[in-house]
Amino acid sequence: MSIIDDFLADTRDHMNKSVEATRSKFGSVRTGRASPALLDRIVVDYYGAMTPLKQLATVSAPEARLLTVQPYDKNSVKAIERAILESDIGLTPNNDGNIIRMQIPELTEERRKQLVKVVRGLAEEGKVAIRNIRRDTMHDLRELRDAGEAGSDDEHRAEEALQKLTDEKTKELDALLKSKEEEILEV
């Protein structure tokens, strides 16, 4: 029975990581106010290597509607600016040679609806990841049964526990999605 418990504990860890990954992706979708997390997904072509922006610069939000990016290497300003322009965050960077500033405009109704679609897509990716983890664990449980290491009753109980866990994590993602949608649609 303990080998099944180990599988379920592993599965819970993987599902928790999927939920956390989705939560952090939600943080990078912009709402009306400035947050350094908005630029978390930005990757910069830095001398031929794709490098996360936060490894190349300090990102801060000195005001509610302003983001600043201060590169550690002044020569990377143009590359960072290009990466921000080519991203899907919809901000226009302005630089003075040292610091890149981005005003966060008020969101239009149309843009809010686009962002809600983006967030729903991210939530769906999270749910797919959770379902894939469930599928893999179900496969492992069947292999255990077929190898004679677990009885079919144990397998059935484990599958029920697995389904309960899957439903729990899916509900958690739905709750995250609902709060993020409200945050986006809040005027």
Cβ atoms of 129 and 169 closer than 8 Å? no
Q: What is the model's pLDDT at position 175?
A: 92
Q: What is the model's pLDDT at position 54?
A: 82
Distance between CA 110 and CA 113 in Å, rounded?
5
Q: What is the model's pLDDT at position 55?
A: 85
Q: What is the model's pLDDT at position 112?
A: 82
Q: What is the model's pLDDT at position 50?
A: 85
Amino acid in the structure at residue 138:
M
Using CA atoms, how far residue 154 sits from 7, 9, 96, 135, 142, in Å, is 12, 15, 66, 17, 11
Q: Is 158 exposed, middle or buried (0-12, 13-18, 19+ CB in 10 A)?
A: buried
Residues in the chain: 187
Cβ count within 10 A of residue 168: 13
Q: Is the dihedral of CA 10, 14, 15, 19 positive or negative?
A: positive
Q: Which residues pair with 68 in a beta bridge?
A: 60, 101
Digitized pLDDT (tens) for each residue of the chain, 187 residues in all: 578 888 888 889 998 999 888 888 887 776 666 777 777 778 888 888 888 878 888 888 888 778 888 888 888 888 888 888 887 777 788 888 788 888 877 777 887 888 888 889 999 999 999 999 899 988 888 888 887 877 778 888 888 888 999 999 999 999 989 988 888 777 6
Q: What is the model's pLDDT at position 131?
A: 92
Using CA atoms, how far residue 82 sits from 68, 78, 101, in Å, is 15, 6, 13
Model-level pTM greater than 0.75?
A: no
Residue with tokens 């860890």: 13
Write out the DSSP string of 134-158.
HHHHHHHHHHHHHTTSS-HHHHHHH
